[in-house]
Structures are given as C-alpha cells and as structure tokens.
Chain A
Amino acid sequence: MLNATLIALLVVMTLALIRAIKGPTIHDRILAVNMFGTKTVLLIAVICFTFGEPEYLDIAIVYALINFVSVIGVLRYFEFRTRNGNGAPEVTGD
C-alpha cells in the first residue's frame, strides 16, 4: 500500500506540474506550486517509511515550513505589484 501511495503521489505531482505549465494566470501557477509542495512533503514522509528510515522525517518538516513561507512571499510580491498599479493592469504568468 505504501508503494501505491508513492505512485499516486507522483501522478498527482505530475498533474499539478501540468497545471503549473498551462495555467493562464500567475495565480494558477502559484496554486499548482503550492499543491506540488504539499505533495512533496507527503512524498518525503512516505519514502521514509518505504525505505524504513524514519530519521528523514525532519526533511519533511523543514520542507513544509519552507513551502508555506515561499508561497506567502510570492503572493505578497504580486499583491503589492498589482495594487500599486504601476505595471500592466493585467497580470499574466509570462
């Protein structure tokens, strides 16, 4: 069952990456990257139990914190950029 969970996690991360590449706006991409990061935390945790080495769970804890801080930071950046109105009014992801 752990192996099936690993495969499902990889499939979900692939689908999130497809949305991050396709996404028409920057917010779609941020949403997909946030989802990708959450699934990465789960992937690291499941890999620990697949290999039988639970010491690597620290990496999952640190990755959860880094993922949250990076998403909030990127969101603040684009929020201030669009609120000031100096750039283009339509924010695209390109």
Chain B
Amino acid sequence: MIETVQSFASGTLLLLGCFFMLTGAVGVLRFPDFYSRMHAAGITDTLATLLIISGLMLTAGWSLALFKLALIMLFIFFTSPTASHALARSAQLSALRLPQIAPEPAPTEMTNSQPVDTSPDAEPEAADSTRV
C-alpha cells in the first residue's frame, strides 16, 4: 500500500518536473529577447530541479542516496539564482543593455482622493527604479 502511494507520488513529481523543464527549454529556444530567455531559463531551472530531485528522493527511501540528493538540491538552490544574477549583471554591463523605457506621461485628471506624497525623499527612488 505505502509503496504504491510512494511510487505514484514519485511519478507525479517527475512528470511535473519534466513538464516545467520542457516549458523552460522551449522558452529559451523561442523567446525573442535575451532577458526574456533568461527569465524562462532562470525560473524553470530551480523549479524543475526541485520537482525531479523530490521525485528521486521518494524513490530512494531512507538511505545515503537521500542525503546526497538533498545535498545536490541545496547546491543547485544556492548556485542557480546566483548564476542567473551574475549573468544578468554581466549582460547589463556589456553591450546588451536594456533599452531605457520612457516614463509615462502624467495623467491629466487626478481621480484619487488620497493625498499625494510630496516628500523629497520619495521621488528619486521612483524615478531611479528602472536603472541598475
């Protein structure tokens, strides 16, 4: 009984991991921009790794392999976002800079009744938020 439930849960986790992995790979292959490609790769890498290694953990049971799988998952959880961050930073510092988006024009009519925050320290952060 418990083996059936365990193998079913393991298969479900592996199947979900395969789905997210294939989604990320198709996104990396088909997206038009470098940053959108990095979005597809950086998110699905961590999630697919979590799902597949969890499925393998359910297959392994209580053994040394479980500890090693947990170690692999810990490594990838630390290194995958770090590598994505370093890649985005390096691309931003090189010729692949993001195009600066023009600020939206101010609306002509103010419909909200809340008082507008006009403190001087609130403005530069909002204006600078698109820069890195």
Which A residues have a C-beta under 8 Å from some C-beta of B? 1-2, 4-5, 8-9, 11-12, 15-16, 18-19, 25, 27-28, 30-32, 34-35, 38-39, 41-42, 45-46, 48-49, 54, 57-58, 60-61, 64-65, 67-68, 71-72, 75, 78-79, 82-83, 89-91
Contact = CB atoms under 8 A, between A and B. Distances in A.
A16 B25 contact: yes
Interface of B: 10-11, 14-15, 17-18, 21-22, 24-26, 28-29, 34, 37-38, 41, 45, 48-49, 52-53, 55-56, 59-60, 63-65, 68-69, 71-72, 75-76, 79-80, 82-83, 86-87, 89-91, 93-96
Given A65-B79, A71-B86, A72-B83, 7 more contacts: A2-B59, A18-B29, A45-B69, A54-B64, A68-B75, A75-B90, A91-B95
A4 B21 contact: no
Contacts, number: 141
A25 B96 contact: yes
Nearest to A27: B91
A39 B45 CA distance: 8
Contacts of A49: 56, 59-60
Contact of B56 (A16, A34, A39, A46): A46
Contacts of B11: 1
Contacts of B17: 5
Given A1-B10, A61-B71, A75-B87, A89 B95 contact: yes
B15 A31 contact: no
Given A16-B25, A68-B82, A75-B90, A54 B63 contact: yes
Given A16-B25, A16-B28, A41 B94 contact: no
